[in-house]
Every structure is written in C-alpha cells, then in structure tokens.
Amino acid sequence: MSTPAAQVFLASRNAKKLDELRRILVGQSELAAVQVLGLDDVAPYDEPVEDQPTFEGNALLKARAGVAATGLVSIADDSGLCVDALNGMPGVLSARWSGPAVAGDARSTDERNNALLLAQLGDVPDERRTAHFVCAVAVAHPDGREIVVEGRMTGRVIREVRGSGGFGYDVLFAADERPDLTTAELSREEKDAISHRGHALRQLAPLLARLLSD
C-alpha cells in the first residue's frame, strides 16, 4: 500500500473538475493517504495542446507532459459529452464547442457552449436527444508504465438549463439513473456515485494503489 508521503500530480486547471477528481480519488480507501498535487502546487510548465482525436489520446498527452515536468506519478483526464443526434459531437471538442470568446459577449464558456448545444438540438424530438458523457483517465509513471481507464454516464439532453451545481453541460444533462434531475441538480455525493468521472476513478483506484506500492 502507499505511504502517507506518497504524492501524485493531477494535471488540471479547471477548479471544479480538480475538486471533483480529488474528492473521488482520495475517497477510495486504497488512496486515502495519498497527497494529490495540482497545477498550482508545481512549477509552471508548457501544457500540451489537446489535439488528439480521442479522449484517451488527450488524457495520455497530458499525463505524459505532467510526469516529464514534475517527475511525479501524473494523472490527467479528458472528458466530454457525446450526443447521438450530433453523431457523437461535441465529443473531444466539448470544452471549446462554441469557439473562442467573442468581444462584447459577457457569457462564460460554459454558458456559450450550452446555448449552442440547445440551438443545435432545437428541432430534435425528446426520444432522439440521447447522449452520454465519457471520461478517460490516464496515469503516467516516471518509469514509463501507463494506465488508462474509461467511465461513461448515459442519459439525455433536456430542453432548458436547470440546476446550479457541477459544471459544463451538467445543467442540460439528465442521467438515466436519475432521469428527473439534471446532474447539476444532484448533490456532490449523488453525482459522484453515477458520473462518468466517478466510474473511471473507482476503476483506477486499485490500479493506482498497486502502481504506487511497487
């Protein structure tokens, strides 16, 4: 098992995502004593452009950059929403679906992304608004070993923004396991139990504990 001194680096600048990743990861008994460092805890380095066509590819890209820069076991994720009626898009482009900020538009990126998605699905009937979130989590070890796991959460895109929790497309997504609420209306514990990120990190926990103990 890992010791209290064990450290891992979690490569993310999204404060809400970082909090969620940390919360789920250290909530697993195998990793309770592990210290999770974020980008603000290490020396700045050039973060790679996420230009891979898959979630796995982008997660590995970021994890490899993290271990090269810090020398620590590094974890990175890439996640997004895949809408069936849009042929799986936004997919890996989820975070930048609406493009760069426009002068005079005070809305956040999340708000612009959600508004664009609603507009694109405006004429799509409810039965065809199915979608799923994907989260790929990659681990890169200084000795070259790597792990990749993937989690999914299936559901549908609703027709209006609801809820104040979560981030990204949570305000538009109702999971199959909680169809009457968006994931932004769930408590943190409820969301963690069913989310794509929760599924991925619970798969990762025993594998990461084994990696740290070697």
Q: Is residue 167 a known part of a binding site?
A: yes
Q: Is residue 187 a known part of a binding site?
A: no
Q: Is residue 16 a known part of a binding site?
A: yes
Predicted confidence (pLDDT) per residue in 84-126, tens digit:
999 999 999 999 999 987 878 888 999 999 999 999 999 999 9
Predicted confidence (pLDDT) per residue in 172-186, tens digit:
999 999 999 999 999
Q: Is residue 170 a known part of a binding site?
A: yes
Residue 60: which H helix or E strand, with range?
Answer: helix 55-70
CA distance 198 to 196: 5
Q: Could you give all domains of the chain from N- to C-terminal order, each with its CATH number?
A: 7-213 (3.90.950.10)
Active-site choice (19, 46, 78, 123): 78
For 194-207, letters b (16+ CB in 10 Å) and e give bbbbbbbbbebbee
Task: Calculate the average pLDDT of the chain.
Answer: 92
CA 64 to chain centre: 17
Whether 123 is catalytic: no
Q: Is residue 168 a known part of a binding site?
A: yes
